[in-house]
């Protein structure tokens, strides 16, 4: 679901091949938006909650966040609220990991890492579309 400069999607697929195809298809549609108001924290929390509702045992359950920005929505929740919510709502029996990919030079790498770490996910950096693809391939292998 594209939201400003953030792309988040929930992944719950049976096989790594289908997972890779779904992620790469989404990547091909990436088009960074300059000067947008990125609702990063709201988007991540909404995607995480949606993924929890759609949790499927025996599948890869993850939220992949690819963003070329940082949270720039003045009406958004704070980082503290996001991290506290993720910690409180994370379910170790039905784990949904957040994988973040910082796309471009303006991405808030440190914050994206904190978000991913909160759910036991991974965080990657990419300056080009090809590096995003490579980061996704690594993320898929690590899930």
Backbone angles phi, psi at 87, to 5 degrees: -65, -45
pLDDT value at position 37?
72
Residue 14: count of CB within 10 angstroms of its CB: 11
Q: Which CATH class name applies to 2-138?
A: alpha beta
Measure the CA–CA gap between 88 and 45, rounded to whole angstroms.
Answer: 12
Residue 49 sits at the vertex; the CA angle it makes with 48 and 50, to the nearest 5 degrees, is 90
| Sign of the CA dihedral with 134 first, then 138, 141, and 143 last | negative
pLDDT value at position 129?
81
pLDDT value at position 95?
95
| Sign of the CA dihedral with 86 first, then 89, 92, and 93 last | negative
pLDDT value at position 107?
87
pLDDT in tens, the chain (143 residues): 333 344 455 455 445 566 667 666 766 666 655 666 778 999 999 999 999 999 989 887 889 898 877 888 889 999 999 999 999 999 999 999 999 999 888 889 999 999 999 999 999 999 888 888 888 888 877 76
Contact 31, 7 (CB under 8 A): no
pLDDT value at position 29?
66
Measure the CA–CA gap between 22 and 137, rounded to whole angstroms.
Answer: 12
């Amino acid at each position: 679901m594209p939201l400003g400069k953030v792309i988040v999607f929930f992944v719950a697929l049976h096989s790594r091949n289908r997972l890779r195809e779904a992620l790469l298809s989404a990547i091909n549609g990436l088009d960074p938006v300059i000067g947008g108001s990125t609702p990063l924290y709201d988007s991540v929390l909404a995607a995480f909650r949606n993924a929890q509702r759609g949790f499927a045992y025996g599948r890869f359950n993850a939220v992949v966040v690819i963003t070329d920005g940082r949270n720039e929505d003045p009406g958004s929740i704070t980082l503290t609220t996001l991290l506290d919510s993720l910690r409180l709502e994370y379910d170790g029996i039905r784990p949904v990991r957040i994988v973040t990919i910082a796309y471009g030079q303006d991405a808030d790498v440190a914050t994206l890492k904190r978000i991913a770490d909160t759910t036991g996910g991974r965080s990657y950096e990419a300056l080009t579309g090809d590096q995003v693809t490579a980061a996704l391939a690594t993320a898929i292998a690590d899930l």
